[in-house]
Structure formats: C-alpha cells, structure tokens
Structure 1
C-alpha cells in the first residue's frame, strides 16, 4: 500500500542537536496551560501564547476516521460530555463534543492541523501516543509545513524516527523510551552514558511519573542534567506546577519546563 501523497519521506539524520549552552530556559504550556482554559483547546493555547509562553505542548489521539486530534486521554469521559474511546467517534462527531475546564470554561477538541495552522510561529512538543497515529500526525505536519517547529516525543524510538522520515530532517525528537531508560539508569548509577545514546535533541522526563522518583531527586536530576548537556541534549521536565519545584529546576539548569501554570513559570524565568 502506498503512503498518502501528502507524505514525502526523507532520510533521517543520525542526530539533530539544537541545544545551545547558556540558552534561556523556555516555558512550555502543557496541554495549552491546563489551568488557563480547557486543556488542549484553542482557547488554552491562545491564552498561553498571549501570556508569552515559549512553546506549546499537546498529545495525539485518532478519530474513527483517522484524523490526528489534539487530545490526551484514550477516552473522552474525564473532560468532555461524551463517553467512551475517542477513536470510536468520527471527526464530525468529535466537533460536537464540549471540553470542560477547571473553572467552568468550555471549548472544543481541535485537530493537530488546526492547532499548527492557528499558531504558525509557535514551536510545538507533540506526544505520540500510538503507532497508528504516525501517518496521520506526519500528514498534519506536512500539510502545515510545520516540521521545523515540531518536536515529537514520549514514544518508542522507532516511532519518533518514522515521523521524521515521513516529514523532514528538520523535525526534532526527544529520546525515545528505550534510550531514556538507559540514560536514567546511568544517572541513577553515576555511570557516564554511551555516546551513541544521542538520537534526539531533547530529554523529556517527568518529575515523579507513575510514582517513580526521577527529577524529584536533586541528586539524580543534577546527574541527568549534567550528562544530557555533556551529550549535547537539552532537558525538559514535566509537569511542574509548584513554585518551589520550578525554582529548583531552574537553578539546576534545566532547558525547559512543561507546566499548567505558564504565567508563574514565565515570572520565575524572567527573574533569573
């Protein structure tokens, strides 16, 4: 079967290193800044951009008719007025859904294409949740000529590489799960990571994902930041909403902070 005509495969480079030593840490609006408006909606992203966020983050889920949607959960139950798996609904059906925010605001579920079109100057971190989202996501990136401002993340290494192959060498990627596991093990043991580990520009890592203490540990985070920088990669940490945690990570030299509170994070970055 041939790929959709909008896809233009290109060779993937060995690595793309974009981190510049001493660069200003950037604030990344997690799901658009979920404290600002209903998560992953145009309203949330627009507020984050107006506030001065340096980057936007979203997730990919598929509709029943194979459209890349900006939505985090596999099911609609938590934040919308619909029930069940998102991939059980067509695009037209999902357009009728209402997304609820924390303070009574409402919004709609956008497609990835709509988001990239709506904010053409903004860089994006896009989490790839499922392997069957690779082609629809690549199609959206190509339709909007967005490869140079997208970093794909939070997935298997081969999936991230495939998105790059289907779009452009300009597309950035984070370390995939396998590579990240190696880096984490090295940081925990205090062992220098292998140079061949570098397959992406960025290390995206959680504060305490699934109850596992990672960046919450100062000793571990000092090691991981130092190791990543030595390899030429920047470190972005998710999802940081407490002021004391934001301050500590900034003092340690992280390169990016995913947060639901971009206003607070921007104030702290400005105070550096």
Structure 2
C-alpha cells in the first residue's frame, strides 16, 4: 500500500503522489483526512499547514478557500480534496485515516455522496473516532482497529493457544483487521504469534511504515497481509521478485 501516495520529492498526499502510485501499478493507497472550517475534507496528514506548505494555520480553523491556496513542495502542488482523489481513479482502493473529530461527519458525507463504501478502509488511532465514523454511514465499510483495540489484541494474542482464539475474536469483533507498526516503544508488535492470532480469526495484518527492503522481506516471510510504505517502488520490486505482485 502506497503511504500518502508515492513521491521521492516530498509531495506526500498530493494528486501527483497518488498518480505516481497508480502509475507504478498500485491498487491501494493510504491517506489522512481533516476537514476545513467549512466542512471540506482534505487529504492531508498534519493538523496544520505549517510543516509541509508555504502557508500556516490549523486546517480546522481555515476555510477551504484559504487551504486551497497552500502549496506543497519545491514543485508546488495544491492540497487535494478527498473527493478529488476518489473521483480521479474510480477503481482505486483508499485507506483513510481520520485525523480529527471534526472530519468524521464531513468524511461520511463524502463516502455517501461518492458511493465509495466498497473501496475504502476507515482507520484511526482513536477507536471512538473510527466507530463514530462508521455509525454515520448507511452501508458497511472495511475498518481497522485503533490503538486501544490493538493493545487489547496484543494481550489476547499472548494467551495460551487453547484459550487464545475466542478471546482474540471478541477483541477484534467489529473490525476487519489491524494496521500496526513493527514495534511500539521498543516492544515487537508484529511477531509470528500476533500474525497467526489475527489471521486465525479472519483479521488482516497490515504493517506501517516499512521502507527498507530487508524488513519488507522479513515481514512478507512472516505472512503479513500488507505493507504500508513510502517506497512503493522498492516494495513493488520485492513483490515482483517473489512472484507476489498483483498490480
């Protein structure tokens, strides 16, 4: 999965980056969303424009007109609306990380308006934010666990095998899978045990953000279902070499 699209020029979460991923043959991209003061959903990671653009200000405090004037990178690119991304490639699957509470309702409206239910995965570090987003949709969508559920899963996965499966199933009820880092606070999150525990109850395991080839290979050998990467070019080469590229 192409993390914020694919760009070696620092043009993350721009239409140029998403196009770069599509041109490589990717069918899945990841993005983040915030909503402007007037309810426009933008594909942008940070809460403010300060780090990535030539403008400053918190996105929830700015109108779309103000945000639309910002430019990203040395090859200046505008901040895209999520609806623009969904409309540009109707078959593209989009993993959407809800970054702020104010984006929940506007995001639901975009998904409903574009009828994108079958090609989005809703994610958030906040389980509450994720659940609130799902409640506002008229049809189910794929969703992944937030941090609290992921922590509960790790505890359940450590149980003896005979009792593990039903506990893991209860913990992951209501989500389709996990999107987790390789390790958190020095503790390994993605291990043979955690991958097996998730998959035996039908949950996928996606790992972020993996940019080194040896680590990609190691995780694929573990049997993870997906890798989220800034180096979509390298991941494609790895998958092609293994005969696993599906682009």
Does the alignment reach a TM-score above 0.5? yes
Among 192, 197, 201, which residue is 2:176 paired with? 201
Q: Which moved more, 1:226-235 or 1:162-171?
A: 162-171
Q: Does 1:54 align with 2:27?
A: yes
* Contact 2:34/2:102 (<8 A) preserved: no
SS in 1 for 2:228: strand
Distance 1:249 1:32, change over 3 A: same
* Contact 1:45/1:56 (<8 A) preserved: yes
SS in 2 for 1:46: helix
* Contact 2:60/2:102 (<8 A) preserved: no
What is residue 180 of structure 1 aligned with on the other side?
150
Counterpart-to-counterpart distance in 1, 2:160 and 2:10: 41
Among 12, 17, 20, which residue is 1:39 paired with? 12
**Aligned residue pair count:** 237
Among 177, 180, 187, which residue is 1:213 paired with? 187
Q: TM-score, normalised by structure 1?
A: 0.81
What is residue 95 of structure 2 aligned with on the other side?
125
Residues 30-179 of structure 1: pairs in structure 2 closer than 5 A: 30-35=3-8, 38-100=11-73, 104-179=74-149
- Which consecutive residues of structure 2, in runs of 5 or more, have no partner in the other structure? 243-247
Q: Which has the higher contact order (CA 8 A, sep 6+)?
A: 1
Aligned-residue CA RMSD in angstroms? 1.8
Query: In the TM superposition, what is the alpha-carbon distance from 1:128 to its structure 2 partner?
Result: 0.9
Counterpart-to-counterpart distance in 2, 1:60 and 1:212: 28
Counterpart-to-counterpart distance in 1, 2:14 and 2:188: 29
* Contact 1:147/1:168 (<8 A) preserved: no
Counterpart-to-counterpart distance in 2, 1:214 and 1:33: 27
Residues 247-262 of structure 1: pairs in structure 2 closer than 5 A: 247-262=217-232
Superimposed CA distance per residue, residues 129-148 of structure 1 (whole angstroms, 9 cap, x where no aligned partner): 12221101001111111011
Runs of at least 4 residues off by over 4 Å: 188-191
What is residue 10 of structure 1 aligned with on the other side?
none
Distance 1:212 1:111, change over 3 A: farther
Residues 14-33 of structure 1: pairs in structure 2 closer than 5 A: 28-33=1-6
Query: In the TM superposition, what is the alpha-carbon distance from 1:189 to its structure 2 partner?
Result: 6.1
